[in-house]
Amino acid sequence: MNDRPKDAVALDREDMFGLAEALRSDAERFLKRAGEINTAIGSGNTGHREDRAWGADPRNLSAQPIVEFHNELADRAHRLLESVGTGMSNLSGITEAIVARFGDQDALSSASVDDISVVTRLDPSSDQPPQDNR
């Protein structure tokens, strides 16, 4: 019979460290590409840039709503790209913290969801620092 708790997590440490490294690498590449995309999209201030006279010229009222709409979408795109990159980077750190917390395959395999929540600090009721079981 299986002695592990019913909500145990069975993972291979080497694979998990590899996953953490791959996520970190992907996040770095993504954030670099996001910067390039943000540059291509332009700033959220397009209506006031000198190289966009149609938006900066108050006489061109028909273009102003289009420029303002672009500004809003550009700002949203910048925030979304940054959030995705930050999320990927955080996931890498969480993955690494989970694996680093447990000293061997058996400890990791027998970890309960509550044990993992303490390490990730995703459980708001968990205000105790994680313990090292190595």
Residue 79: inside a domain: yes
- Distance separating alpha carbons of residues 34 and 65, to the nearest angstrom: 26
Tell me phi and psi for residue 8, to 5 degrees.
-70, 155
Q: How many domains does the chain have?
A: 1
Residue 5: inside a domain: no
Residue 121: inside a domain: no
pLDDT (0 to 100) of residue 38 = 84
Residue 27: inside a domain: yes
Cβ atoms of 56 and 50 within 8 Å: the answer is yes
Residue 129: inside a domain: no
**Which residues constitute the domain of residue 29?**
13-109
Residue 121 backbone class (left: φ over 0; alpha: ψ -120 to 50; beta: rest) = left
SS3 label, residue 100 = helix
- The model's pTM is 0.61
DSSP 127: -
pLDDT (0 to 100) of residue 87 = 92
Residue 128: inside a domain: no
For residue range 13-36, list pLDDT tens digits in order.
Answer: 788 788 889 999 999 999 999 988
